[in-house]
Structure 1
């Protein structure tokens, strides 16, 4: 029985999440003294900015080609309503019935690859859903179900998005090579746009090949590396790339936006492409 000399009892934290049965009772929400909130805040700002920009560009259906450069958001262009492009694949396979922006035809493939990426999942789970907001910081949710329910169970198809992502990377590589032509489509040209396109595809390949799914394809399910020396070397190489997967994820995201915006500036006549040689 409580007496007047006893201190008041502390409020009992809700018994859910990190305060669930079997967990050590800790009254404080966290014991971190650093700016742990900075990383998820930056993630929210950058991802939101990219989504807004990419959505605007994908639906604008304009200013995505400036000879000899084509925006990575619009390649390959497979509709009849594509601009008159000679810089990249432009086969009107969809005919004239497709009246929307050509970018929407393949938008789901690279979007699905990045949306289900292991690193991006960690980033936006923490930033947007606070699940958890940071290491050693309790999440506000009372229950945890992981990725066992719809729609998060669909994250498991990430491994299948890897294959079309490779195809898209090959096409963007082709576009980058064609960037070594001038506006009259003559070889031997190199402008600032060429450098931007080559840098972009290099980062896209680094992100794609450093993917966890690619690493598993190279060396997964092997019981003996010594019997598969080629796959072991490929696995070792992709493992080194995988260690910097986070950096490649952000760098390639920025490079895609930069490459598209540069083509937009050229197509609208706001700038001219500086010729390096």
Structure 2
């Protein structure tokens, strides 16, 4: 039976001998758990959808649109296309969905992204779940051990993500053709692709690795005025990196969904002109 004289229970995790012995894990009274819960729900929804579409291996082409999940097509078992790159690098031995050959690069870029790290660390691992809320884990090794040390290859995934964004730009240009591959067409899908590629480039360029490549390790900005100007522009985008990450995640899923609905016959692509 409690007498009111027992010492407060000190939780493990970030609480150590050198820290104040505060019993509660936090003193916040707001709904601090709502943000990580919504983050986890959003990321989980995209994971489920993208996994389904990646393994579906169907309804990813509706002339002149090709799903961003399947472009460029690198296997011989790709659906015949005249829109977007179709390089049969892997030949006929690849029997799985061709999306699995290309999605590893943009997904690897996002998984190792600095913002997404914070998002899924908080949303799934509660590390920590919110500001001023104690870490529930007994130990914290950061990204110094496997598998989290693999996060350090983010800059290399950036080099792979740039060509993928370039190919999706090419796909967007080809979206100005009609189903007979004649130029001068603009459908609702064309607008979807335009919005998507703008957001993809904005997210890619606003990446911390891009900012470092442009202006990192410069001792004197005055000696590199062009790089300094570019660094400033990227820095402004970088301030919106979180918003661009979510917007581009939604737009690429929407572009794939649109192609799927048109290819499966759910509706015809409305022609604007």
TM-score interval, normalised by the smaller of the two chains:
over 0.9
| Structure 1 residue 19, shift from structure 2 partner | 1.3
Q: 1:33-182 residue pairs with structure 2 within 5 A?
A: 33-182=29-178
| Paired residue secondary structure (1:19) | coil
1:207 aligns with 2:176: no
Q: Distance in 2 between matches of 1:86 and 1:42?
A: 40
| Paired residue secondary structure (1:82) | coil
1:9 aligns with 2:6: yes
1:248 aligns with 2:234: no
Q: Distance in 2 between matches of 1:7 and 1:262?
A: 62
Bigger radius of gyration, 1 or 2? 1
Give per-residue Cα distances to partners, 1:167-189, cap 9 Å, x unaligned. Answer: 00000000000000000000000
> In the alignment, what sits opposite 1:266?
262
Larger displacement relative to structure 2 (180-189 or 19-28): 19-28
> In the alignment, what sits opposite 1:3?
none
Picking from 203, 219, 222, the partner of 2:215 is 219
1:230 aligns with 2:262: no
| Structure 1 residue 22, shift from structure 2 partner | 1.1
| Structure 1 residue 10, shift from structure 2 partner | 2.3
Contact in 1 for aligned 2:8/2:23 (Cα 8 Å): no
| Structure 1 residue 126, shift from structure 2 partner | 0.5
Q: Distance in 1 between matches of 2:76 and 2:31?
A: 52
| Paired residue secondary structure (2:69) | helix
| Structure 1 residue 253, shift from structure 2 partner | 0.4
Contact in 1 for aligned 2:75/2:89 (Cα 8 Å): yes
| Structure 1 residue 31, shift from structure 2 partner | 1.3
Q: Normalization by structure 2: what TM-score?
A: 0.97
Please, which runs of 5 or more residues in structure 1 have no aligned partner? 1-5
Give per-residue Cα distances to partners, 1:59-107, cap 9 Å, x unaligned. Answer: 0100000000000000000111111111100121211111111101112
| Structure 1 residue 7, shift from structure 2 partner | 4.6
Moved over 6 A (4+): none
1:193 aligns with 2:173: no
Q: Distance in 1 between matches of 2:200 and 2:32?
A: 29
Q: Distance in 2 between matches of 1:119 and 1:7?
A: 44
Give per-residue Cα distances to partners, 1:104-151, cap 9 Å, x unaligned. Answer: 111211111000000000000001000000000112111111111111
Please, which runs of 5 or more residues in structure 2 have no aligned partner? none
